[in-house]
Amino acid sequence: MSAALTYPEPYRIPAGMLALAVHLLFFFLLYFGFRWQAQPPEEFMVEMWDSLPEAEVAPEPQPAPPDRQEPKPLPKVVAPVLPPVKADIEIRDKKKQAEAKARAAAEARMKQEKEKRELDKYAAQRAASLRQEQARIRAEVDAATATQVGRYQDMIRAKVRRNIVMPPDVPESARAEFRVTLLPGGDVLEVELIRSSGHAAYDNAAERAIYKAQPLPVPTDAGLQKMFRELKLTIRP
């Protein structure tokens, strides 16, 4: 057979597609590269200065201080933190102790006040009893003294009447009162008429009888003698 036999090539079609893809990629790169270069540059602003800003001057370096040994820091003392439960218990215990002390102080104060009231009451009763006893003793002494004084006054009046020279016509109601000053032994120092009987003759006779009756009878007790230093004496017929 003169005619040549033709066989299909299996890799011919894929090779053509690959070449077409490479040409398309090259075309896109050229196109977009040209577009990117043709775009205008981005806008930017320029600030105008009247004068240049002053340059910051760096501080001059300070000379290094002489080497000295830095003091060692003291160790920090950290107080232990008590647990809240223990702190609450201590607070309650202190509160109870304070309340107990307050109650004890109040009870002691009340006891002292009660004792003081009792002592004051006893002292008042004792003082009242003592005053009553003293009043009783004074009353007894006064009564005894009055009895003694009255007895000695009666003795003095009787002695004076025995020494009086009775003038005539003197009524029985005549009454002459004298103030008589005596010495400790009963001698008469002075006689003064302080109330007349209304009969001068009787008054004079009674005064003479007082001087004539001395020494007048006076008590030997020193306390009673003081009561007879100045004596009010009434003379009746």
CA within 13 Å, CB half, 80: 4
Is 147 among the domain residues? Answer: no
Please tell me the predicted confidence (pLDDT) of residue 61: 58
Q: Is the peptide bond before 41 cis (omega within 30 degrees of 0)?
A: no
Tell me the pairing of strands 230-235 and 188-195: unpaired
Residue 42 lies in a domain: no
Residue 190 structural domain:
154-235
Q: How many residues does the chain have?
A: 237
Inter-helix orientation angle 200-212/84-162, to 10°: 100
In a domain, 199, yes or no: yes
Domain-located, residue 195: yes
What pLDDT score was predicted for residue 209? 92
Contact between residue 186 and residue 215 where contact means Cβ atoms under 8 Å apart: yes
pLDDT of residue 4: 45
Query: Domain containing 184 — which CATH number?
Result: 3.30.1150.10
pLDDT score for 7: 46
pLDDT of residue 211: 92
- Phi/psi of residue 51, nearest 5 degrees: -150, 160
The number of angstroms, rounded, from the C-alpha of 51 to the middle of its chain's C-alpha atoms is 82
Instruction: Report if residue 201 sits inside a domain.
Output: yes
Residue whose pair of structure tokens reads 């002053």 in the numeric block: 54
Residue 196 lies in a domain: yes
72 part of a folded domain: no
What pLDDT sits at residue 32? Answer: 65
In order along its 237 residues, the chain shows pLDDT tens digits of 444 444 455 555 666 777 777 778 777 777 666 555 555 555 545 556 555 555 555 556 566 555 555 666 666 666 665 555 666 787 888 888 898 989 899 999 989 999 999 889 889 988 998 898 888 887 876 787 788 888 888 898 899 989 988 888 888 888 999 999 988 888 899 999 999 988 899 999 999 999 999 899 988 887 788 888 888 888 888
Q: Where are the beta strands (DSSP E) in the chain?
A: 176-182, 188-195, 230-235
Tally the domains of the chain.
Answer: 1
**Number of H-type helices and E-type strands within the chain:** 4, 3
Give 180's strand partners.
191, 231
Q: Is residue 210 part of a domain?
A: yes
- Please choose, from the candidates 178, 150, 186, 182, the residue with its C-alpha nearest in 3D space to the C-alpha of residue 236: 178
